[in-house]
Amino acid sequence: MSFSVTLQHRVLERAVDTEAAFLRLYGASPAAFWLDSEHVEPGMDRFSFLGDASGPLAEVIGYRVGSGTVTVRTADGGVREVRGTILDHLAEALRTRPVPLPEDFPFDFAGGYVGYLGYEVKADCGGSAAHRAPAPDAQWIFADRVVVVDHLAGRTYLLALADDSGRAAAQTWLRTTAAILETLPTWSNPPPITTAGDTAGLEEHLVRGRARYLRDIADCGAALRAGESYEITLTDQLVFPATSGGLDVYRTLRRANPAPYSAYLRFGDLEIACSSPERFLKIDRDRTVETKPIKGTARRDPDPIVDEQLRRALTEDPKTRAENVMIVDLLRNDLGRVCEIGSVRVRELLVTETYSTLHQLVSTVRGTLRADTGVVDCLRACFPGGSMTGAPKIRTMQIIDTLETRARGVYSGTIGFLGLGGTADLNIVIRTAVRYAGTWQIGAGGAIVLDSVAAAEYDEMLLKAAAVYRALATGPVGAAAPATEVTAAG
């Protein structure tokens, strides 16, 4: 199928509040996305991207590992099955749908695919299909209508892709949407919400529980001593009935645990509320690839002196530093498979980043994609993110498969965009709650190495889960603005 479109756009000279914009434009949409960097921190992403699947060229793509086909639902109600994996489909779609990015755009996404890959897509990237997730393993929206908010420069961009027959409708959408956004408040960072920092009440919802998790850590230790792995990222999950909507939970989570790679996704009865601080892969228009693995977590403390002591202890801890360096080496190897020889470099090593609830130890690795390599080739080479597996990746994932009793699902996968201009920005799905089939699921874990202390590893896992769990317990923030349907024609 030929794909000949033009990009039309309009700019508002202020940054519209993204929460108000999402509620007004897409609050009732059955499939919608909100890639959210509104809570800007120095050096972090400054752009938020909002949209749904109501445009005339829009599609919703679903995939289950092992099915051999991808389901594509078009805006006109059509459904077709395409043979291959989700990565095969995305690679072909991006190859046949090139749309150059305007040079004066300060961001790298002007239409394309927004969605997620669940952890079990590892089976299409060299891993095994050990467990089956209840929800689809991947879902993506082909976004032909996008609202972009530049929080730093104070601008809002409206973007519309249109074929020859759809240019008038695109102009109508731009005009109508701009008029709605002009009625909404200008962006400002709202005050954070403080939630309880303790882990009381969490353990009753764990899938495997404390005793089993400690036994699993012992089994990890045996595998490490046998030389089968250097580092094993072991996780557990909280699962409990869903009594609140995903959007309400996300509105609380983004203020209780703000993070630069946050996102809210809705695909029918699947909702994802994500407050991830970790970048998986960013590929810019110059084909520079960046990954920022996190290994090492410490709690915050309201006493500034104690808080600084916790931060320093994290930075100086030999075990934590070793965990981080091992994942950096793994990612250098992953990027080396798709980047130009000699271009992969560690730009920052063992840097502390501080968030409202946690300190994290982060490194940054960059390279340049080879000319014969595309965005999806890079994604396939690096998925799942090494910080969620351990090293060496394939053997360590096999060990994890024998210990973890159910699929991780969306958790440990990735959320973000794949742009038609050959760009991408994808996170690691951590600090995330997933609502599906009447239940909430929250995953959490940590890296097990030879000198791990089992009880401390268990406590760290609970600490990570608590940041999300408490947002669910806090309840919704504020009153929702009424949703307004904005169609392609109006």
Catalytic residues: 278, 295
CB atoms within 10 A of CB 450: 12
Q: Residue 337: what residue type?
A: R
Q: Do the strands 279-283 and 288-291 form a parallel or antiparallel pair, or are they unpaired?
A: antiparallel
Distance CA 408, CA 402 (A): 13
Chain position carrying tokens 């990009």:
7
Give the helix, strand, coil percentages of the chain, each rounded to 5: 30, 30, 40
Angle made by CA atoms 481, 483, 487, in degrees to the nearest 5:
150
Omega of the bond prior to 293 within 30 degrees of 0, cis?
A: no
Extract the runs of DSSP E, i.e. beta strands, from 231-335. 231-241, 261-267, 270-276, 279-283, 288-291, 294-299
Any idea what DSSP says for residue 351? E
Any idea what DSSP says for residue 4? -
Cβ contacts of 487 within 8 Å, gap of 6 or more: 54, 173
Q: Residue 11: what residue type?
A: V
CA distance between the termini of the chain: 27
CB atoms within 10 A of CB 252: 22
